[in-house]
Amino acid sequence: MKAHLTRRYMFSASHRLHSDRMSAEENRATYGKCNNPYGHGHNYMVEVTVSGPVHNHTGMVCNLVDLDGFVHTHILQRYDHQNLNLLSEFAREVPTTENLSIAIYEIVKRGFHKAHLEKIRIEETMMNSFEYTGEGR
């Protein structure tokens, strides 16, 4: 019997949406106010969804302590109160929330093996949320 578990986590970070491959005009047209040279910040809400069999002994897909510990160590400590533009994973990528979703997915996929990673969902604002399931890479 397969079940899904979704946990929510929050962190705050800043970024500037800007591509060195585009002119200043193209950047302004593409990213609008998010191209502000001083950047801007968000309070991100991240959902990590994992799945697996419900273990007979525990009644759980995975131990929440294990998932929380992994996310705290590898995601929250990495991204909370950071300027995303300065992190190595965004040296060649624009730190859009789409790309942030992919980066977090890859970290969890490589390092958390106590359940199957289904998706990462990030709520950037009340109006914007992004999901990545690992498809297309």
Residue 125: inside a domain, yes or no? Answer: yes
Residues 13-39, mean pLDDT to the nearest whole number: 97
Residue 89: inside a domain, yes or no? Answer: yes
Q: How confident is the model at residue 1 (pLDDT cuts 50, 70, 90)?
A: confident
Q: Answer yes or no: pTM beyond 0.85.
A: yes
Residue in the structure block whose two tokens are 């979704």: 6
| Contacts with 109 (C-beta within 8 Å, 6 or more apart), sequence order | 117, 134
What is d(CA 54, CA 36) in angstroms, rounded to the nearest whole number? Answer: 47
Print the domain residue range for 85: 2-132
Q: How confident is the model at residue 137 (pLDDT cuts 50, 70, 90)?
A: low
Q: Catalogue the active-site residues.
A: 34, 81, 124
What whole-number percentage of the chain has pLDDT above 70? 99
Q: Determine the pLDDT at residue 74.
A: 98
Residue 137: inside a domain, yes or no? Answer: no
Q: Determine the pLDDT at residue 59.
A: 95
| Contacts with 31 (C-beta within 8 Å, 6 or more apart), sequence order | 17, 18
| Contacts with 51 (C-beta within 8 Å, 6 or more apart), sequence order | 2, 3, 4, 5, 61, 115, 116, 118
Residue 12: inside a domain, yes or no? Answer: yes
- CATH number at 89 reads 3.30.479.10
Over residues 49-99, the pLDDT tens digits come to 999 999 999 999 999 999 999 999 999 999 999 999 999 999 999 999 999
44: which strand partners?
11
Domains of the chain: total = 1
CB-side exposure of 79: number of CA atoms within 13 Å?
29
